[in-house]
Homo-oligomer: A and B are copies of this chain.
């Protein structure tokens, strides 16, 4: 009975990711260093053999999960959660994740739209949580992302969110040089000219 086998059992039966601290607490008869080493053995063991599951770090802990790509088979016998996020939910979630703690008014200023409904549904899905109240007049509620957010999106911690710079680098839209002439000619509108029909009676 090796320590890594013990740890494997513990993870196998755990309902949520377990942090190294928690693991050390549970397996108090072992040294932290031993546990760390055994954990490494398990992580490598999954990677070495061609395994369908792996031990990953999420939400500040470790958890066995199926590797991405097997969902076609897995969902044949268990129901996939219809984890469908609308663009506005994802946007709001991103703003809360990157800017937390943040108030509803701040989210709305950034998005330019009312976000009450989206925030409420994110709260109901437990992806966002109320952190408390801000010490400014009116004491508005402040929001942040939850542990479930990290778990569902498979993030180790908030620091492992892609940085906004990285995201910009991913962007495929080329950046246009400042140009003198804008492609206005094509649309036949020029500065200061006509307003649209919108407000005609």
Residues of A that sit less than 8 Å from B by CB: 1-2, 4-10, 12-16, 18, 26-27, 45, 49-53, 64, 66-67, 69-70, 73-74, 76-78, 80-82, 104, 114, 116-117, 119-120, 123, 130-133, 140-141, 154-156, 159-160, 162, 166-167, 169-174, 177, 182, 184-185, 187-201
Please tell me if the beta carbons of B52 and A7 are within 8 angstroms of each other in the complex.
Answer: yes
In the bound assembly, the distance between CA atoms of A193 and B192 in angstroms comes to: 6
CB neighbours (8 Å) of A132 from chain B are 154-156, 160
Question: Assuming A15-B78, A114-B177, what are 8 further A-B pairs, CB within 8 angstroms?
Answer: A8-B53, A14-B77, A14-B78, A15-B81, A18-B77, A117-B171, A120-B171, A133-B162
CB neighbours (8 Å) of A159 from chain B are 133
Please tell me if the beta carbons of A141 and B166 are within 8 angstroms of each other in the complex.
Answer: yes
Q: How far is the CB of A57 from chain B (nearest CB, A)?
A: 18
> A130, A169, A185 — which one has the most chain B CB atoms within 10 A of its CB?
A130
CB-nearest residue of chain B to A108: B174
Given contacts A162-B141, A190-B199, A195-B190, contact A66 B12 (CB under 8 A): yes
Given contacts A15-B81, A51-B8, A171-B117, contact A197 B191 (CB under 8 A): yes
Given contacts A9-B74, A192-B194, contact A199 B171 (CB under 8 A): no
In the bound assembly, the distance between CA atoms of A164 and B199 in angstroms comes to: 36
> A52, A120, A173, A201 — which one has the most chain B CB atoms within 10 A of its CB?
A52
The 4 closest A-B pairs by CB, nearest first: A5-B52, A8-B52, A9-B52, A116-B170
CB-nearest residue of chain B to A81: B15
> A4, A16, A70, A182 — which one has the most chain B CB atoms within 10 A of its CB?
A70
State which of B70, B78, B189, B190 has its C-beta within 8 Å of the C-beta of A6: B70
Please tell me if the beta carbons of A169 and B116 are within 8 angstroms of each other in the complex.
Answer: yes
> A133, A154, A172, A173 — which one has the most chain B CB atoms within 10 A of its CB?
A133
